[in-house]
Amino acid sequence: MNSNYLKKIKHFLKQNNTILFFIVFLAYILRILPYLFGYSIPFTEDSIRDFQQIKYIIDNNGQLNLFNSYKDYGAFPILHLIIVFIASLGLPALKVFLFFPQILPSLGIVFYYLFLKKYFPTKHSLWACFLIAVFIPHIQWSAQPVRETIGLFLFPIIIYLFDKVITEKNNIIKNSILLILALLLIIPTHHWSAIMTLVWLTGFSIFFANSFKQYLYSLGLIVLFTISNLIYWKYLFTISFILIKNLALHFNFSQLIILLLLMAIIFIFKKINFDKFKTKDNRRNSLLIIIILLWLIANNLLPIHYPLQIWFHFFIFLSCIFIGFFYTKNTVLNKLTAITVFYSFFILIILAFNNFQNINLDSMPFDPFRTFEFAIFPLSIITAYGLIKISEKHQHLKTGFIIILIITATFAYPPIFIYGKTFIGTPFYDIRSEIRHISDGEIDLIKWANDHGYNVSSNRPEIRSYQAVFFPIQNKIKKIVTNSDEILKENYKYIHDPIMMVEAYKKNSASDNEKIFYENQSGFLVEQYYDAKFLTHNIPNTITAGDTITLEVKMVNTSGYVWYQSDNYRMKSEEYNNLNLKLNKPEVGLNDVAVFTKDIVIPNNPEKYKFKLRIYKDGLGFFGDFTPEINVTVKP
């Protein structure tokens, strides 16, 4: 009886659907680990800001913040609307935000499995799904959660449906309708998700379409998707049109030639027989090139220091990709490799255009955490072939791979979130622990400051965002000095990432004339090192759409330092990133009046704006008084 029972369990565990279920379950668990371990707030600046949009919708009785949100987060509201809807059923919005969105990209793996199973053996397809589940960049973007989390759910659905529409004749109308709905839905999830989808649609059409009819139909879908994106961006993501306009203004004949050459190379790839390339000499030469490229990237383009365990994770994937490609002869596998190359050319085109416009590459750092979350889809099956090839003569290696990859997957998060340690002074130290993690003691410092009528100033983006989203705006400010400040100052050479915006630490302890207001085991609060007093502003309450006006704000320099125009002092709003008033004279001495101005063209959209301004200095952040709350109505 017991023997039969065990056989049934063993048979059940070997069923493909059972294995797929466990992969999806594993994917979900790996994406909620910080919250399972008790971290009570979103663990990145991006996710905190996305929750800000959810709070806005709830606090304003369902009104969307499409036009006036912090750095256009509200212009892509799908994630926000999903959470608001579930919270409306009586559940706490923050808990829903921390635990629900990760379900969706985990389920998205199922649709990619259905796509793979059409072309590859079931075993290889399941391994590919497992590799997506444990891949660090995919975890990073689907775990936080952020707008792109929904993109990582819709992306594999689009892959599955686009393949059925282009290559199959059955249910063409139903599949086309579902595909168009998915394409339209991914547009308001996130602009990068839409761009990556467009790249996939184009690459898949080039390498998988086999007839004029298939090419024509896929071209029609690509044009429809592109036009829909542009319309959406024109009205809701206007900064994209500014970038496109700047690109068009700088576009020249040499860039056109390079673009055409790159496109020609891509079409040449369609004709290449990759299997003839997989020779012993080419394997050796390619391995040498890969090693050199990795060394160059690691030493020159990575925006942040990564610890040993993350490098080890990527090493396993890269090794399996190399073996999977060079030791497997499979036409569809070659096509997916070509799509991956197509993605690479897309990145090269972006870099080439930036280079022609003399934009420093440091402003577009190569970061595996931001680049490969979509690329893992075509790469996963190549990796699976490599992993199976390595372990075909030693079955126990598969178990070893599973264990190692699951363990290294937990390092998608800075170690303090999972292991309670930062591993300072070892090769396992992850500097993101000092940046991202907000300890209970730091939360206590922030709460004390706000309970006593102060906001806190910090160089860490997570603390700045936590302050802005979870506490009201106060007119006074204290500087928070934490135990992590000294560590970050000593290791600042490892951070040159303009997106993370971890500013240099000019001061990390209280001086003799700085009174400590409150102190605990995590740090203390002191007077703001720089200060300013609000004097007046000329911003009107009513403005006509399309007009050009000059905004002016006057502040008094009450700090102990001269403000120099060359240091880029400016008035900014956290709500509207384009409000950026500049200092209009070379220097402002102690107790002198500083005048900040900006000429702006009022948007054509009738809208109401509500915001406060403060002085911002590079390397320091915000400081000084807020302006009074400014309410502006734009009339047609």
- Spatial distance between the Cα atoms of 79 and 515, rounded to a whole number of angstroms: 44
Q: Is the pLDDT of residue 335 over 80?
A: yes
Handedness of CA 59, 65, 68, 69 (dihedral sign): positive
**Sole residue written with tokens 């955490």:** 369
Distance CA 39, CA 33 (A): 9
Residue pair 479/528 in contact by the 8 Å Cβ criterion: yes
Q: Which residue has the higher pLDDT, 421 or 395?
A: 421
Mean pLDDT, the chain, whole residue set? 86
Alpha-carbon distance of 571 to 563, in angstroms, equals 13
Q: What are phi and psi of 204, to 5 degrees?
A: -65, -40
How far is 378 from 339, CA to CA, in rounded Å?
Answer: 7
41: enclosing H helix or E strand:
none
pLDDT score of 247 more than 90: no
Q: Is residue 189 over pLDDT 90?
A: yes
pLDDT in tens, 24-65: 999 999 999 999 999 999 999 999 999 999 999 999 999 999
CA distances from 420 to 151, 414, 511 (A): 31, 10, 31
Burial class of 363 by CB neighbour count within 10 A (0 to 12, 13 to 18, 19+): exposed
End-to-end alpha-carbon separation of the chain, Å? Answer: 80
Which pLDDT band holds residue 575 (cuts at 50, 70, 90)? low
Between CA 15 and CA 18 the distance in angstroms is 5
Dist. CA 459–CA 501, nearest whole Å: 8
Q: Which of 71, 39, 5 is nearest to 577 (CA)?
A: 71
Evaluate if residue 359 carries a pLDDT over 70: no
Predicted confidence (pLDDT) at residue 481 exceeds the cutoff of 80: yes
Pairing state of beta strands 542-544 and 630-635? parallel
pLDDT at 584 over 70: yes
Tokens of 42: 């979103």
Work out the average pLDDT over 82-102.
97
* Mean pLDDT, residues 95-103 taken together: 98
- Which fold, 532-635? Immunoglobulin-like (2.60.40)
Q: Report the Cα 491 to chain-centroid distance in Å.
A: 23
Q: What are phi and psi of 89, to 5 degrees?
A: -80, 0
What is the CB neighbour count within 10 angstroms for residue 589?
10
Report the candidate in 126, 120, 127 with the shortest Cα–Cα distance to residue 334. Answer: 120
Contact by Cβ (8 Å): 129, 20: yes
Exposure pattern of 154-189 as b/e (b: 16+ CB <10 Å)?
bbbbbbbbbbbbbeeeeeeeebbebbbebbebbbbb
Residue 535 main-chain phi, psi, to 5 deg: -115, -60
Q: Give the lowest-confidence range in 18-32, 241-255, 275-289, 503-517.
A: 503-517
Residue with tokens 């602009």: 191
Q: What pLDDT was estimated at residue 512?
A: 47
What sign for the dihedral angle of Cα 457, 471, 607, 53? positive
Cross-strand bridge partners of residue 455: 477
Tokens standing for 44?
Answer: 């990145």
pLDDT, position 37: 96
Domain boundaries, the chain: 9-412, 438-527, 532-635
Residue from 371, 376, 349 nearest 297 by CA: 371
CA distance 408 to 412: 8
Band of pLDDT at residue 479, cut at 50, 70 and 90: confident
As to burial, measured by CB atoms within 10 angstroms (0-12 exposed, 13-18 middle, 19+ buried), residue 494 is: middle
| Residue whose pair of structure tokens reads 């923050």 in the numeric block | 94
Residue range 398-433, pLDDT digits in tens: 999 999 999 999 999 999 999 999 999 899 999 999
Phi-psi region of 524 (alpha: psi -120 to 50; beta: other; left: phi over 0): beta
The predicted pLDDT at position 363 comes to 47
Joined together, the tokens standing for residue 606 give 């009738």
Confidence of residue 9 (pLDDT cuts 50, 70, 90): low
Please choose, from the candidates 104, 136, 132, the residue with its C-alpha nearest in 3D space to the C-alpha of residue 116: 132
The pLDDT value recorded for residue 104 is: 98
Distance separating alpha carbons of residues 35 and 31, to the nearest angstrom: 9
Dist CA 306 CA 298 (whole Å):
9
pLDDT at 210 over 90: no
**Of the candidate ranges 5-19, 111-125, 228-242, the one whose mean pLDDT is the lowest:** 5-19
Region class of 382: left (phi > 0), else alpha (psi between -120 and 50), else beta: alpha
DSSP H or E run through 252: none
